[in-house]
Amino acid sequence: MARFTGVVYLLYFLTAIIGQLLLSHKLVVYGNTVNLIGTVCYTVLTLLFYAMFKPVNRSLSLLAALFSLAGCVVMTCALFPRTSLHISPLLFFGPYCLLIGYLILRSAFLPHVLGVLMALAGVGWLAFLFPIVAHYVAVYIEALGILAEASLMLWLIVMGVNAQRWNEQAAAVAGIPYL
């Protein structure tokens, strides 16, 4: 399941890149369509991450999922100018990355460096909410965010999670002795 999660993450990355390329070439309808597909991919990714991190902390995993789903709603509304909420999706994706980073750090089945990178990406995405900060460090923030999320995506595709440790952590939360 972890590798599938990584593939969904990759699909999101590809659709986000293609969507932005289409928009930069003034192909708005196609760009928005691809971005809508990307948002669906990110919604699926959110649900997969919720399931993956539920054994670490069910409440925080749910909170992270709610932040991400709210960000997906804001992104979707932004595709339709009449329904735009005039809220940055980074207001939701920043805390989401912070929470995912924390959940990775608390997990026994993923490398902690991925958690640190994701937490830093979350702080970076939140920095974009302050234009004075974003103006000076935007390139670095984007690079860090892409590095963090791409690292997690590639790790999931190539390595997956340590299944034994995931099962142990899930069993401990459920109060079932792991054999």
Tell me whether residue 51 is in a domain: yes
Residue 179 lies in a domain: no
Per the domain annotation, does 147 fall within a domain? yes
59-81 mean pLDDT: 93
Is 79's pLDDT higher than 80? yes
| Residue pLDDT, tens place only, 92-130 | 999 999 999 999 999 999 999 999 999 999 998 898 888
Report yes or no: 55 and 77 within 8 Å, Cβ to Cβ: no
Query: Read out DSSP for the chain?
Result: -HHHHHHHHHHHHHHHHHHHHHHHTT-HHHHHHHHHHHHHHHHHHHHHHHHHHTTT-HHHHHHHHHHHHHHHHHHHHHTSGGG-----THHHHHHHHHHHHHHHHH-SSS-HHHHHHHHHHHHHHHHTTSHHHHHHHHHHHHHHHHHHHHHHHHHHHHT---HHHHHHHHHHHHT----
Domain span at residue 94?
Answer: 2-174
Question: Has residue 38 been placed in a domain?
Answer: yes
Mean pLDDT on 33-51:
97
Q: How many CB atoms lie within 10 A of CB 176?
A: 10
What is the model's pLDDT at position 118? 97
pLDDT of 179 strictly over 60:
no
Q: For Cα atoms 15, 62, 171, give the angle at the middle one, nearest 5 degrees.
A: 110
Helix axes 131-158, 90-106, angle to 10 degrees: 50
Q: What confidence score (pLDDT) does residue 142 get? A: 85
Contact 96, 71 (CB under 8 A): yes
Q: What is the mean pLDDT of residues 65-79?
A: 94
Q: What is the mean pLDDT of the chain?
A: 92
Considering the chain, what percentage of its residues have pLDDT values greater than 70?
97
pLDDT of residue 109: 96
The answer on pLDDT for 177 being more than 90 is no
Q: Are 108 and 80 in contact (CB under 8 A)?
A: no
pLDDT at 168: 87
pLDDT at 135 over 80: no
In a domain, 153, yes or no: yes
For the chain, the domain total comes to 1
Query: Residue 92's pLDDT is what?
Result: 96
Place 82 in a pLDDT band, splitting at 50, 70 and 90.
Answer: confident
Query: 134 lies in a domain?
Result: yes
